[in-house]
Chains A and B, each alone.
Chain A
Amino acid sequence: MADPPARPDGLVATLTTLTGFARTLRAAGVAADHERTQNMLRAAAHLDVTDRSAVYWAGRLTMCAGPGDLPRYDRCFAAYFGGERPRPGRATPPMVTVVRHTLAPDATGDGDAAGHEALAATASAVEVLRHRDVARLSAAELAEIHRMLALLRARREPRRSRRFAPSHRGRLDPRRTMREALRRGGEVSRLRRRSRRVRPRRVVLLVDVSGSMAPYADTLLRLAHALVRCEPRATEVFSVGTRLTRITAELRHRDPGTAMREVSAAVPDWSGGTRLGDELKRFLDRGSGARGAIVVIASDGWERGDPSLLGRQMARLSRLAYRVVWVNPHKGREGYQPLTGGMRAALPHVGAFVAGHSLAAFEELAERLSHA
């Protein structure tokens, strides 16, 4: 596909304008990488660049990667071709040093005996901490919990995929058997077998970030980060409040601190109200693949909207998902009863209802995902 011959006059101006537009898109968060920019220029070369709508489509078809990009693209297009100056390229984010607290006692002990005692004390302090409600911890203790969460190794329950792999047992593999036979002059001397390959089952995590969940949201998101890090291709995370937001990409950063900063920039509805029913409907309508996945909802069930809508959506979810797990931080408290309207509507459709207030509870949850 040869490009039409370039006209030198005006061409430079067009190139400058379009690359400036690409920069504006990139600054607005559209994945306008080099290859896409090249594609836009090539597309524009086939169209009439003096036609505003032709330029609009040349950019939209090459630069956008999903419906989420479209409003952003439209805003940028209106702003850029409406006379606004191109934004400068994004500066690299500053390095942030994360200070890690540990609960090691002050190194004032003298001699071996004191050392052993100190070690024992640390061990039991950690053990106590594992069971304490994260909402009631000091900043240093919370940092220790986060450090331990970052080390969490969460295995994932396997599921049998539809793909086959060579194996010693299982069904006959006609292709490999025949191929082997051909190699031996058409004599079938050995039967080859194949069996279904095993893959990790997908987990979809919905984390409530509304006001009532504020003391737990940060820790739950760190748990989400640990889960994403262990199985990046088989984990999806959304924040739920008044606007469902996919935060999987933000959580893919290796460093938990960076990931948390990216998430807090991406989530528009921190500490607002909760419309779980609406949000869940949006999640299911989006067709985001609850099908066959373990869906974990981390919320206290304080529903501002209509509980019956939540009930209906939970019923839909339970038909699609492999299993629905509800994590409620308050369940760990003594004498807790699921009395809120939302929680009562949701519970009949929940496969497992678990606590989510302490590190021990999170570890138990991670364990549950490894053999649900």
Chain B
Amino acid sequence: MVNRALRAADIPTPGALAELLDAHAYLAGEGLATACFLALKMGRPLFLEGEAGVGKTELAKTLAAVLGAPLIRLQCYEGLDAAQALYDWDFARQLLHLKAAEATGATGAAEAGRLEGELYDRRFLIARPLLRALETQPSVLLVDEIDRADDEFEAFLLEVLSDFTISIPELGTVRAATPPVVVVTSNRTRDVHDALKRRCLYHWLEHPSFEREVAILRRRLPACTEALASQVAAAAGRLRAAGLVKPPGIAETLDWAEALLTLGARDLDPGLAAATLGALLKYREDQQAVLANGLLRHG
């Protein structure tokens, strides 16, 4: 693990980074490769926005693999607070420590002072993802689906991402010697505050083009033939243009192709396609519309 670790300085151009991502089976376009490259060079968080299933989370995982760094993930939800995202004290263990000290008969003013110092020792601190990311070097921090968290969380995330420090009143300030690579993703169910975006490099991820999607399918599923890959990608493209409630992302296309392969399909057979539709479309209305309009047939 350690000897595979790659530093940002070792990557000379966005093209070189794209090749490294490719080696880990992630095909990044010029824009995304440049975004990642600049995020590494400038030490700025990368803010990825786009439809669900276009590969935002996957990018963070691949980036971690490329850099040989652990991926630290923080899944956002409404009500996420500092105790869940930054750090928390392990009160149960602190109490135990106190009781143990009592049992051994530690009394007196000097003893009490020493005991208090011990109670707020690093070993009683539980590091949550943001603190863990600052303490682990190198690391890739994924703040997933920030649009699910609320304003309060955005505010303290901004604070952490601005100078990569966390101050713990009882312990002091934790500072990252080299800041972690940060990827923030959003499905855009609400607008994230501009102050946070301003700190970041912003990239809007589109659904892949037909050629890229075929390439991704072939790269990810070696058993997938060129014919099947292009039929699946063409069908996915038609579905995205059909105005469905939830158009399929690349994640769904991959699932679908895998389902077809598992059933031994060599090309897009209408029967098998209909049977595996649940891997691609997750709304009943969409499935009905697609079957009624014959959108799966290639023409």
Give chain A's interface residues, CB within 8 Å of chain B.
Answer: 1, 31, 33, 35-36, 39, 42-43, 46-48, 53-54, 57-58, 60-62, 64-67, 70, 161-164, 174-175, 178-179, 181-182, 185-186, 233, 281, 285-289, 291, 312, 316
A1, A36, A53: the one contacting B42 at CB < 8 Å is: A1
- Residues in B whose Cβ lies below 8 Å from that of A281: 243
**Could you tell me the distance between the alpha carbons of A156 and B160 in the complex, rounded to whole angstroms?**
32
Q: Measured between alpha carbons, how far is A178 from B91 in the docked complex, in Å?
A: 6
Beta-carbon contact of B83 and A175 below 8 Å? yes
Hey, which chain B residues are within 8 Å of A46, CB to CB? 37-38, 41-42
Given A182-B94, A291-B189, do A61 and B202 touch, yes or no (CB 8 Å)?
Answer: yes
B26-60 vs A, CB cutoff 8 Å, 1 = contact: the mask equals 00001100110110011110000100000000000
Q: 7 closest A-B pairs (Cβ-Cβ)?
A: A162-B79, A178-B91, A57-B34, A186-B98, A1-B43, A61-B201, A162-B78
Q: Which of B63-71, B191-199, B260-268 contacts A (4 or more CB under 8 A)?
A: B191-199
Known contacts A233-B151, A289-B189, A291-B189; decide if A43 and B42 are in contact (CB<8 Å).
Answer: yes
Within 8 A of A (CB), among B244-291: 245, 285
Apart from A65-B197, A70-B204, A162-B78, what are 18 other A-B pairs with CB-CB below 8 Å? A43-B42, A46-B41, A46-B42, A48-B13, A58-B38, A61-B38, A61-B201, A61-B202, A67-B204, A161-B150, A163-B150, A175-B91, A178-B94, A182-B91, A182-B119, A186-B95, A281-B243, A287-B189
Given contacts A57-B31, A175-B91, A178-B95, contact A163 B152 (CB under 8 A): yes
Q: A65-B202, A66-B49 are in contact. Are A47 and B94 (CB under 8 A)?
A: no
Q: In the complex, how many angstroms separate the beta carbon of B36 from the nearest chain A beta carbon?
A: 10
The answer for the CA separation of A164 and B83 in the assembled complex, in Å, is 12
Which among A70, A163, A281 has the greatest number of chain B C-beta atoms within 10 A?
A163
A289 to B190, Cβ gap below 8 A?
yes
Q: How far is the CA of A178 from the CA of B243 in the complex (A)?
A: 54
Tell me if B30 and A163 are in contact (CB < 8 A): no
- Chain A nearest CB from B138 CB (Å) reads 14
Nearest opposing residue in chain A for B51, CB measure: A287
Contacting residues, chain B, for A42 (C-beta < 8 A): 42
By a CB distance below 8 angstroms, the chain B residues around A39 are 42, 44, 198, 201
Known contacts being A65-B197, A233-B151, is A316 close to B79, with CB within 8 Å? no
CB neighbours (8 Å) of A64 from chain B are: 202, 204
Q: Are A65 and B194 in contact (CB under 8 A)?
A: yes
B137 at the A interface (CB under 8 A): no
Pick the residue among A33, A162, A312 that contacts B198 (CB under 8 A): A33
Instruction: Tell me the smallest distance from the CB of A328 to a CB of chain B, in Å.
Output: 27
CB-nearest residue of chain A relative to B285? A312
Please indicate which of the listed interface residues A58, A178, A291, A312 has the most CB atoms of chain B within 10 Å of its own CB: A178
Q: Tell me which residues across on chain B come within 8 A of A179, comparing CB atoms.
A: 89, 91
A235–B201 alpha-carbon span in the complex (Å) = 28
Given the complex of chains A and B, what is the CA–CA distance between A291 and B34 in angstroms? 35
Would you give the shortest CB distance from B164 to chain A, in whole angstroms? 11
In the bound complex, what is the Cα–Cα distance between A178 and B152 (angstroms)? 24
| A1, A31, A179, A312 pick with most chain B CB within 10 angstroms | A1
Contact status B37-A35, CB under 8 Å = no
Chain B residue with Cβ nearest A196? B79
Contacts of B81 in A (CB 8 A): 163
CB-CB < 8 A to A54: which residues of B?
14, 34
Q: Are A62 and B201 in contact (CB under 8 A)?
A: yes
Binding site for A on B (CB under 8 A): 13-14, 30-31, 34-35, 37-38, 41-44, 49, 77-79, 81, 83, 88-89, 91-92, 94-95, 98-99, 102, 119, 150-152, 187-191, 194, 197-198, 201-204, 243, 245, 285
A342 vs B190: C-alpha distance when bound (angstroms): 28
CB-nearest residue of chain A to B247: A285
Q: In the complex, A39 Cα to B43 Cα: how many Å?
A: 11
Please tell me which one of the listed residues A33, A57, A162 contacts residue B30 in the complex, with CB atoms under 8 A apart: A57
- 13 cross-chain CB contacts under 8 A: A1-B43, A61-B31, A61-B34, A65-B194, A65-B197, A66-B191, A162-B79, A163-B150, A163-B152, A186-B98, A285-B245, A288-B189, A288-B190
CA distance A66 to B193 in the complex (A): 11
Residues of B within 8 A of A65 (CB): 194, 197-198, 202
Q: Please state if B78 and A186 are interface contacts (CB–CB under 8 Å).
A: no
Given A61-B202, A65-B202, check contact A161 B191 (CB 8 Å): no
CB neighbours of B150 from chain A (8 A)? 161-163
Residue of B nearest to A61 (CB): B201
Nearest Cβ on chain B to A200's Cβ, whole angstroms: 12
Interface centre among B34, B81, B102, B245 (most CB of A within 10 A): B34
Chain B's closest residue to A289 (CB) is: B190
Give complex CA distance A40, B215 in Å: 32
Least CB distance, B96 to chain A, in whole angstroms: 9
In the complex, how many angstroms separate the beta carbon of B47 from the nearest chain A beta carbon? Answer: 9
Q: Which residue of A lies closest to B91 (CB)?
A: A178
Q: Which B residues are CB-close (under 8 A) to A285?
A: 245
B195 nearest CB neighbor, chain A only: A35
A191 to chain B, nearest CB (A): 14
From A66, A67, A174, A185, B91 is in contact (CB under 8 Å) with: A174
- Which chain A residues lie closer than 8 Å to B98 at the CB level? 182, 185-186
Task: State whether A287 and B187 are in contact (beta carbons under 8 Å apart), knowing that A62-B201, A174-B91 are contacts in the complex.
Answer: yes
What distance in Å separates the Cβ of B227 from its nearest Cβ neighbour in chain A? 32
Residues of A close to B14: CB separation below 8 A: 47, 54, 57
Residues of B within 8 A of A163 (CB): 78-79, 81, 150, 152
